[in-house]
Every structure is written in structure tokens, then in C-alpha cells.
Structure 1
Amino acid sequence: MQDYWEYKIDSMFNLGKSYDFFNNVSVFFPEKPKVNYLLYDQDTFLGYTVKKKEIEFTIWNLNEVYLDTLLLENWSVDFLFNQGLTNIIINYNSSFPNLFLDNHSEDSLTMKIFKDKLLIDKNNQLYYARYSYPNNPLTDSIYLKMGNQYFNSIKIDSK
């Protein structure tokens, strides 16, 4: 609960502050994010992260792609598996705007849950949004509220 209230307080201080990233993306973070580079398969992707204790909000700008569902699903599973994540669940059935697919995965060593969304803009540019939190059945519902607020703040093609 303490993490949730700190998040709410930080969010109130930053209310109305949406950070514009890349060309077509704006996101609300509870505080000013730091630059974060994702290194994967000989590529480097620019992103932004806010880490508060064990909770982390991140978004990366991936490459422009040709929409091939199977290719992107395989890429996502490979990407998550190479991070040591297991119990990977990919979902296509969502009403989230600009969503191509979303994942739920776990790291059994660090006991963290990862919620990921692969988003796409009108120019086929991909964005990978992530929210991670400690795996604790007593607080999962609180962390899910925080993650949903973060994901719902992502606006693609907002300009």
C-alpha cells in the first residue's frame, strides 16, 4: 500500500504532465523518466524508464516493421525468454488502442511480474511498453492498478 500511495502522491504532483517521446508518443510517468537503452540481438533501442523501489515503468522505440503477426510473436517470446522470463502469455484480444499484442511473464529468480505491450503507430513504428513489479499475491491488485494507469496514459499518434 505504501508504494501505491507514494505513486499516487507523485502522480498528483505531475498531474497533467505528459512526456512527449519519439514522434508520435506521449506517456505519463509519476516523475521525470531517465533515458534507457535496450540492447537486443545486435540492435540498440532508445527508451525511457522510471524506477521507484521495485516498481518500474519503461517504454522503448523499436524499429519500423512489416506487420507479420507470427514474426512479432516469435520475436516477443524470444526477447522475453532471453531475459530469463518464463510463464509467457501472449494475448491478442484487447481493446487497448494501438495494441499489437501484450504479454504477461514472470522471473522466478527475482520474483517479479512483467506486463508488456507491443504498440504500433500509423506508420508501422513499434513501441514496447513495460511495467514490472514484485510477485506478491497480497499486493498484486494494487500493482495492477498502477500498471493499468501507466498503460492507459500511453497515447500514440497523439500529435
Structure 2
Amino acid sequence: MLISTDDIAAFCEVLRKGGKKVVFTNGCFDILHAGHVTYLEKARSFGDCLVLGLNTDASVRANKGPSRPINSELDRAKVVGALKAVDYVVLFGEQTAENLIAKVKPDVYVKGGDYTLDTLPEAKIVMGYGGKVEFVNMVEGRSTTNVIKKIKQGED
């Protein structure tokens, strides 16, 4: 379900008051593949509700270059929002999720194993209010970049 930043912050507070553990992750999720699904299922296992911060089209272009995203933010939100593991999707336009995390205050922040506490600017915010940061190993050989390369190799 796609939800606004203001609404998700208030809703997460209600969940926490009800004893639920809120998990947050973020990313582009441009061309959804098995690696994404596995990652999101593992992220969801850290708590009761998974909120996915989804980069807007503009922030994907800023992070990945002018040829991305392949799919629009609303298409990407619909696809990831349909996954059983994802409870809420919220769009954000910055290059990092720092501002959104400061509003949502998840109990657990999950990122891929290609990050570390030192390379993750959001980690300091999460640990500052007592939250946990968890890393999930990526599925070997599964990435949107690899999918795009395979498609391009098939072109004449």
C-alpha cells in the first residue's frame, strides 16, 4: 500500500505503541527480481511490519544516472507493494533515506550486505534513538544492473 510520509510516521507510532516492531528498508527496486524478493522477505523477518522507502524517479536518476529508472515510481510502488513481505511503501526524493528514517523511527533498519555501518549514513540516526541496523546478504548474481546487461546483450 502506497502511503504518504506524514501518514506513515503517525501510523508507525501507533504500531509501536501497540507493541509491534517496525522494520524499514529502502531502495530503487527498478526491475524486480528474485534477489529483491528474497531480500525483502528477510527484512520482514526482523519485525511485524515492513515499511519500504522507495526512491522517486528523480532520486533514482541522481543515484543511478539519466537512463534510470526503467519503471516509473508508481509502477515500482505497485509491484513492490503487491509483495506479501511489504506492508507499506512510501516515496522519498532524497538520495539517502536519512530524513524519512528520522520521521518513521523504525525499530530495525535493514540494508544489503554490500553496506557497512561506516558507509551507511542512516545508521547513525537509527542507532542514535536506540534502533537496530541489520544487514542482509545479497543473492549472488542477482541485480537490476545484471538484468539490464543481459537485455542489452540480446540486442542486435
Q: In which range does the TM-score fall when normalised by the shorter chain?
A: under 0.3
Task: Answer 1 or 2: higher relative contact order, Cα 8 Å, separation at least 6.
Answer: 2
Q: TM-score, normalised by structure 1?
A: 0.26
Q: TM-score, normalised by structure 2?
A: 0.27
